[in-house]
Amino acid sequence: MEPKNPSEPSFAQRVEEALLQVPPGRVVTYGGLALLAGRPRAARAVGMLMARNPYGELLPCHRVVSASGELSSRSFRQEQARRLRAEGVEVVDFHVDLSRYGWDGRSRS
């Protein structure tokens, strides 16, 4: 549901703003991003927004992973793994260790 006040950012805008805060070398889950955007039960909506990303590399969608640390859909996995590795994230069998690389929004590192 979009905000009633047109001056308030939409959910999509809040997701984009939250994603831009994820530092290089860290990842966030779809659910974590939904929580940061103010809708903790909207992980699927976040996934749909990431799939429709109109901004290309300007929006670091490669930093978003599943709750198990699994990388994105098969069509983007290789590129996502490449981008994450370039930022220093260890990717093994298309998974990342969330305890090591996960970001919860509390710090910029």
Catalytic residues: 61
Bridge partners of 92? 95
Question: Cα 74 to chain center, whole Å?
Answer: 16
**Residue 56: predicted pLDDT:** 77
Tracing tokens 């659910």 back to the chain, one arrives at 31
* Domains defined for the chain, CATH in brackets: 11-101 (1.10.10.10)
| Regions in the chain scoring below 70 on pLDDT | 1-4, 108-109
The model's pTM: 0.89
At 92 the three-state DSSP class reads: strand
Q: What is the pLDDT of residue 49?
A: 94
- Alpha-carbon gap, residue 102 to 37, rounded angstroms: 17
Indicate the SS3 state at residue 38.
coil
Quick: pLDDT tens for 55-80.
778 899 999 999 999 998 788 899 99
